[in-house]
Amino acid sequence: MSEPSATVAPEKPDVAGALAWARARIAVMDARVLLRHVLQCPPARLVSHPEQRLDDADWQAYRELVERRVAGEPVAYLVGEREFFGRGFLVTPAVLIPRPETELLIELALAHFGSRPRPRVLDLGTGSGAIALTLALELDAADVTAVDASREALWVAMANAARLGASVSFVQGNWFDELEGERFQLIAANPPYVAADDPHLAEGDVRFEPRGALAAGPDGLDDLQHIVAEASHHLEDDGWLLLEHGHDQAAAVRGLLTDAGFSAITSWADLAGIERVTGGRWPGRH
Ligand code: GLN
């Protein structure tokens, strides 16, 4: 049997033909994920039924998605979903696409707070809600608040909360601005931390993500600095601040925490071996 020709778009392709056409243009994984999305079928079906014909509407929809992927749009936006910590999160271009390295923040939060009853938790810059909702679902009876400055992002996070059955309080505001007088045992954040002139912002999938969720001043530290400076007013004694940051910012963030009076300051490496999360305990005024 000869491989279907991939250069010309076939007339009425079957699954194998459509995939061969797409694989000549985009990564094979992306070709499969997009086809599964169009056909709304489980992964095994593409393998078990390569001879299944696509109807005209599906083939048209698939070609459009492949072309958008060729133009650089992230797969997560094209299918409207990305997995994080084992759950599917709705995503739109109003929110950053959840990253696997952010799962480290979750693991650390669970390690520190997994055994505390009803911890009060704050997620700053929640975006899709990946951090806040995961903690609400993983921690026992946690009281979780999620803040974002973007109303569009909060709509996405709320839709995810409804979909996943997570109970979280949502607040629209800039970092701590709407949290006057409120204190938490854990404050977690994956704030913008890329330097504004970082060429990475103009490359690949990142171009399609909200710049306000990525860029933070000349050295990428503006928001991290702001959060560390304010956090002590919103942490209970012995509460923790856990911050995700860029690959070369761990020492700078440890310095910020030291200057602000935190103790037990530590950086943790992600799966790629890069120091990705730095945290500290607020000793309080005792
Ligand atoms: N890790 C992301 C990136 O480099 C940045 C996420 C962020 O700024 N919080 O694309």
Least confidently predicted of 7-11, 38-42, 212-216: 7-11
Least confidently predicted of 43-47, 102-106, 216-220: 43-47
What is the residue whose two structure tokens read 């936006």? 77
SS3 of the chain: helix, strand, coil, percent, to 5: 40, 20, 40
Annotated binding site for substrate: 190-193
Q: Cα(269) to centroid of ligand 1, in Å?
A: 15
C-alpha separations of 263 from 223, 253, 256 in Å: 21, 13, 12
Strand partners, 282: 239
How confident is residue 4, by pLDDT bands cut at 50, 70 and 90? low
How confident is residue 3, by pLDDT bands cut at 50, 70 and 90? low
Contact 217, 196 (CB under 8 A): yes
How confident is residue 116, by pLDDT bands cut at 50, 70 and 90? confident
How confident is residue 10, by pLDDT bands cut at 50, 70 and 90? confident
Q: Cα(97) to centroid of ligand 1, in Å?
A: 9
How confident is residue 114, by pLDDT bands cut at 50, 70 and 90? confident
- What integer is the mean pLDDT of 39-66? 94
Q: What is the pTM of this model?
A: 0.93
Q: Can you give the pLDDT at residue 6?
A: 64
> In angstroms, rounded to a whole number, what is the distance separating the alpha carbons of residues 133 and 235?
20
> In angstroms, rounded to a whole number, what is the distance separating the alpha carbons of residues 138 and 134?
6
Query: Which strand (E) or helix (H) includes residue 38?
Result: helix 28-39
Question: What does the angle CA 77 – CA 70 – CA 12 come to, to the nearest 5 degrees?
Answer: 95
3-state secondary structure of 266: strand
Q: Cα(73) to centroid of ligand 1, in Å?
A: 17
124-155 pLDDT per residue, tens: 999 999 999 999 999 988 999 999 999 999 99
Closest CA to 275 of 266, 264, 283: 266
Written as six digits, the tokens of 93 are 């271009």
Pocket test for ligand 1, best of 84, 200, 214, 244 (most atoms within 8 A of CB): 214
Kindly report the protein residue whose alpha carbon is nearest to atom 2 of ligand 1.
214
Q: Is the CB of 110 under 6 A from ligand 1?
A: no
Given a cut of 60, is residue 5 above it in pLDDT?
no
For residue 102, the ligand 1 atom closest to its alpha carbon is: 1
Q: Is the CB of 249 under 6 A from ligand 1?
A: no
For residue 125, the ligand 1 atom closest to its alpha carbon is: 9
Residue 192 burial (10 A CB sphere; 0-12, 13-18, 19+): buried
C-alpha separations of 133 from 55, 234, 276 in Å: 38, 20, 21
Q: Can you give the pLDDT at residue 286?
A: 58
Annotated binding site for S-adenosyl-L-methionine: 125-129, 148, 175, 190
Distance between alpha carbon 91 and the CA centroid of its chain, in Å? 9
Q: Is the CB of 201 under 6 A from ligand 1?
A: no
172-197 pLDDT per residue, tens: 999 999 999 999 999 999 999 999 99
Closest CA to 12 of 78, 77, 57: 57
Residues 6+ apart with CB under 8 A from 193: 214, 216, 220, 221, 223, 224, 244, 245, 246, 249
Q: Cα(207) to centroid of ligand 1, in Å?
A: 12
Q: Is the CB of 196 under 6 A from ligand 1?
A: no
Q: Is the CB of 85 under 6 A from ligand 1?
A: no
Q: Can you give the pLDDT at residue 1?
A: 43
Q: Cα(83) to centroid of ligand 1, in Å?
A: 17
CATH classification (class only), 93-282: alpha beta
Written as six digits, the tokens of 58 are 């599906």
Q: Cα(17) to centroid of ligand 1, in Å?
A: 36
